[in-house]
Structure 1
Amino acid sequence: MKFLQSILGKTHFAGRSGLPGRVLGIRYFNVSTEEYAKRNYANNVAEYNTVLGSLNAQRRMFLLRDVYDDMMLDGVKPSRDTFHSLIVGTMRGSRMQDAFFFKDQMRTMGLVPDVTFYNFLISICGKCKNSDQAIQILEEMKSMEVKPNVQTYICLLHACAAQGRIDRVYAIVRDMTAAGLGLNKFCYAGLIVAHKNKTPFTDDFDAKVIEFVERSKIWSSVETDSANAENVMMGVSDEELYNLPTADYINRRAGFLNRPFTAYHTAFNAAADFKNVKLTDTLLEMLSKERKTPDIYITMQVIRCYCHAGELDRGLQTFEDLISSGKAIAAEIFVTLAEGAMIGHTEKGMQIAQDILVRMNERNFFMNSKMGSELLLMASGEKTGGYTTANYIWDLMRTRNVVPSVAAVEAYYQGLKDREIPQDDPRLMLVTKMYDNLRTRFRGNMNV
């Protein structure tokens, strides 16, 4: 009896730690049946799967493990769909430790992970830059007699590319070719990423990028999108699965991303990261010769490259050309130019940034917390001048009830404190109050 009482008295945390209550599927009942029914948010596997799907949609991946713990405490046996929802969430949250925990739990439940589950695992390894673990997963698949598919090899290619392991990437390419599989646009994008991440940097990078972009245009046996029906149903795109830089934009409206430009997207992104104006211009010439127009994402990368390379006027001209063309535009175009203009916090750049944001606001473009926080963080680095750009961004976010990140609020607060502003200034008092509240809420974690 004492043993049972000790199990029934275990807390939720104890259950999570793997104690007997979890294994026996026992939840402690310290409230009435009616009260328990009110508190419980799911009673069967279908309802739990709905909860998991909701958390994935809200990007609240840190709660997935808690929901799974509750399933165990409720004595609800997870289904294969449950584990697929869990692995998708952990992939999006780059929670590799949780992913392998769920894999082990799946096998404990008598369910053998299928090829889709393993592909998600390899993708997580790529996000976490752990190609060794990704290769071990492939070996485990073979030992479990789970046959890899095209997605498996492309996931593995990108996992190795994330670490710049060109030797492994080319080995995978050779294996795919030997198996009669052609290379599609995602493979060539992976090759570009591999050369981008290789250390030390190679002198033939530009030539390699141009070569891969050209070769990506050639038809192959797997040229069509490799996403299977299950991935589509779960809302996982190829771009997200392979951790491409366009993954966050894939669901945007038409005109933002031209999906056949996958290799171009990766190439322009790499050129912008390296501030490589020459490569950017060459890629633009290639598109022009093909009589193709850059989409919004490519235009963003062109502006970013010019601004980061110190060619602000060219970045501004690219922006003006897009506006005057009458083509589709997006808030990200304005934000990209504003951020680029603020580099170095020159008087000219800060004024351009503020003017661009005014034009953005006049067009009623929505600026979410992420974009606003990045802009405020950048603008708050201004040490001289009137601090007008930072103040404008702050006021814009306050008007639309957008809450900045803690790091952005702290930077803005420090910028105000460094200036000769009276302690009873309404702006300073408001920022101080918000800063103190956020700091208390996140217990001093200023990286939120």
Structure 2
Amino acid sequence: MPPPPKLHQNLQLSLSNSLNQEEAAKSRRGSLRRVVGSRNFSASTEEYSKRNYADNVAEYNTVLGSLTAKRRHYLLRDAYDDMVLDGVMPNRDTFRSLVVGTMKGSRLQDAFFFINQMKTMGLVPDVTLYNFLISTCGKSRNSDQAVQILEEMKCMQVKPNVQTYICLLNACAADGRLDRVYAIVRDMTAAGLGLNKFCYAGLIIAHKNKTPVPDDFDTKVIEFVERSKMWSSVETDSENAENVMMGVTDEELYNLPTAEYVHRRLFLARPLTAYHTAFYAAADLKNVQLMETLLDTLSKDRKTPDGFIMMQIIRCHCNAGDIERARQTLEDYRNSGKPLAADLFVHLTFIEYQFWLQCKPIWLQTLAEGAMVGYTEKGMQIAQDALVAMNQRNFSLNPRTGSDLLLIAAGEKTGGYTTANFIWDLMRARNVTPILPAVEAYYKGLKEREIPENDARLLLVSQTYDNLRSRFGNRN
């Protein structure tokens, strides 16, 4: 299919900027080579075979899938560069893996680069790839770019499907563009499409992210939750077998707050999607009244809160400054005999030792995060107690969870900084390195305190910070 006579100017500019920055980026890249070793093409055949991690397109596609599965999205561009250097011609599956990886890693510039490379090789992106690209725009809260991608699809004669419009709706919702969200809803309605639970979740997110929050926010949220219970023709058309094969769930494609929990299959009742988003919004906005109204509505539907909803209830109380209420909520839930999810503990709470032993790590994590809100002396102690309980039960902090906790704890301006130090020590004991923003916040927090320049902890954190900054500090 011949390319369109002219792409949208802003999208064309974005793609052009991606190409213009390629040369500058080459000097900064090389992370993958540092992992697998240098690739000296003047080496002997035997030595080259040992250093080379892929020889053909199938092997490279496997490498790309592995990098995405291990959340090393920042290495995809390096692998692609090596592929080009080896003279291996990428195919459609290659670009599909690359675009999926950049979407999961929220790397918008890399996504545009790969789409542009694909077009250069004469491969026209299909509707699924465009949907991934719109989703990436949503993760980056760039609704302008998402709208322009839809215009490009029309120019390229790629027919949008139901997922395209839901992706676009949620991308605009992430940016708080309520006007655009309602325009998309009108277009879908005019086309004879009803709204499904993911559309109503997007509407809730759009109202939450709009600045300022609408006065009728509570009323609208309850209305959308009620409407989401109705059957819609979109329900049977939203899932895509190709997405399932690529390991992309609907929640991840539409950037819903439950995406991570669906992926990890943690105590989540997927039919309650609108409820999940509503409780999440109430927790973010510290809206205890809305949270309690949602609980009543859930009870009238003869449904019980799942693990994710319980986490949001605890988070809502913590964000509102009522840690005791959050602790009591968790204890009541534990005494009910229902299964306890591990993440709940990261948000809460100073309790007796025996109570901690009966709690699962995800609940402890939720409790610890919530307890650090406001950085009160009692809250920081609660958070540390939760982390101690997790450690005593041999539950280690993974890079994402540990980094999130360290980033929060590093914001403490007064006190002994013991919680941040403890989180750092827990991660180092497992040879887990936090992400750059968390290490940077922790390093700056240490520098603000009266610590000798030759302190062993400060030197180690400084070295880690410099290493991460040299590798990833200049990457988008």
- TM-score relative to the length of structure 1: 0.85
- Does the alignment pair 1:54 with 2:84? no
Per-residue deviation, residues 350-399 of structure 1 (Å, max 9, x unmatched): 33223333333344433223333433444455555555544544554454
Of residues 362, 366, 380, the one that matches 1:336 is: 366
Q: How many residues are matched?
A: 423
- Does the alignment pair 1:64 with 2:90? no
| Aligned counterpart, 2:300 | 289
**8 A contact 2:443–2:465 mirrored in 1:** no
**Cα distance in 1 between the residues matched to 2:334 and 2:387:** 14
**Cα distance in 1 between the residues matched to 2:25 and 2:374:** 52
**Cα distance in 1 between the residues matched to 2:291 and 2:25:** 55
- Does the alignment pair 1:321 with 2:347? no
**Cα distance in 2 between the residues matched to 1:361 and 1:355:** 10
- Structure 1 gap ranges (5+): 1-11, 18-26
Of residues 435, 439, 444, the one that matches 2:465 is: 439
**Cα distance in 2 between the residues matched to 1:386 and 1:76:** 55
Question: Mean alpha-carbon deviation: is it higher for 91-100 or for 402-411?
Answer: 402-411
| Aligned counterpart, 1:272 | 283
DSSP-derived class of the 1:77 partner: coil
Cα distance change, pair 163–417 in 1 and its aligned pair in 2 (3 A)? closer
- Structure 2 gap ranges (5+): 1-21, 28-38, 343-360
DSSP-derived class of the 1:78 partner: coil
- Does the alignment pair 1:200 with 2:216? no
**Cα distance in 1 between the residues matched to 2:233 and 2:51:** 53
**8 A contact 2:446–2:458 mirrored in 1:** no
- Does the alignment pair 1:258 with 2:269? yes
- AA in 1 matched with 2:468: F
Cα distance change, pair 113–417 in 1 and its aligned pair in 2 (3 A)? closer
- AA in 2 matched with 1:432: L
- AA in 2 matched with 1:319: L
| Aligned counterpart, 1:30 | 42
| Aligned counterpart, 1:350 | 380
Cα distance change, pair 417–43 in 1 and its aligned pair in 2 (3 A)? closer
Q: Output the aligned Cα RMSD.
A: 3.0
**8 A contact 1:407–1:446 mirrored in 2:** no
DSSP-derived class of the 1:76 partner: coil
Larger radius of gyration: 1
Alignment of 1:178-193 (within 5 A): 178-193=190-205
Of residues 141, 145, 150, the one that matches 1:138 is: 150
- AA in 2 matched with 1:85: S
**8 A contact 1:353–1:389 mirrored in 2:** yes
Of structures 1 and 2, the one scoring higher in RCO (CA 8 A, sep 6+) is 2
Alignment of 1:44-193 (within 5 A): 44-193=56-205
Question: Mean alpha-carbon deviation: is it higher for 318-327 or for 42-51?
Answer: 318-327
- AA in 1 matched with 2:386: I
**8 A contact 2:341–2:363 mirrored in 1:** yes
| Aligned counterpart, 1:246 | 258
**Cα distance in 1 between the residues matched to 2:304 and 2:213:** 30
Per-residue deviation, residues 216-262 of structure 1 (Å, max 9, x unmatched): 0111112247221111011011111111111122122352x111111
**8 A contact 1:306–1:314 mirrored in 2:** yes
DSSP-derived class of the 2:229 partner: coil
Cα distance change, pair 318–30 in 1 and its aligned pair in 2 (3 A)? same
- AA in 1 matched with 2:233: S
